[in-house]
Amino acid sequence: MKLVETPFEGLFIIQPQIFSDSRGYFFESYSAEKFKTLGLNIEFVQDNESFSTHGVIRGLHYQLAPHSQAKLVRAVKGTIIDVAVDVRKNSPTFGKHFAYELNDITKEMLLIPRGFAHGFSVLSDVAIVNYKCDRLYECEAERGIRFNDPSLAIDWKVNNDKVIVSAKDNVLPLLHDIEANFVHGGCY
């Protein structure tokens, strides 16, 4: 398992070691021991999975502290653009986003620290996305940012006429109007 740094503090790409032969493949998608060896002391408590079709955009979601969640995201099937937006006040990357393609070929994962909003778009016909969270879902703490906020200028790589967004996500506030109580200075 290899840890690849991004320009965002605490946000990492995880590249698993894949073993392939005539039967197929095998890889560890998560190992607490290997994460600790990489300096990542995260205890995941919940696994989530979603199925979506081409053009679906989910997000951008986060939970307020103390319910904020670190997430380990991967595409089990298909291809997505996974997006993390830094909403940690006083962070040098506050209000900036990181977008990365995750797919079922490379099996790379994105480790998103607390204090980031998260979302993804589906580029393949269908996608199954799995993500581990280090805190449980808390409805009252749930917040978000509108996916098409012009200040973020995220390229979701989906034609506008093909975008499918939930009614709830379509009315989320813009970045400058969000409620966020994260302070820069710690990743997890």
Residues classed as catalytic: 61, 131
- Looking only at the bridges linking them, the beta strands covering 88-89 and 182-183 are parallel
Which DSSP symbol is given to 169? H
CA distance 11 to 4: 9
Nearest Cα to 9, choosing from 94, 118, 134? Answer: 94
Mark 68-80 as b/e (b = at least 16 C-beta within 10 Å): bbbbbbbbeebbb
Q: How many Å apart are CA 186 and CA 10, to the nearest integer?
A: 8
Tell which residue, 111, 100, 74, has the closest CA to residue 187: 111
| Contact call for residues 16 and 27 (beta carbons, < 8 A) | yes
Q: Are strands 57-63 and 142-144 parallel, antiparallel or unpaired?
A: antiparallel
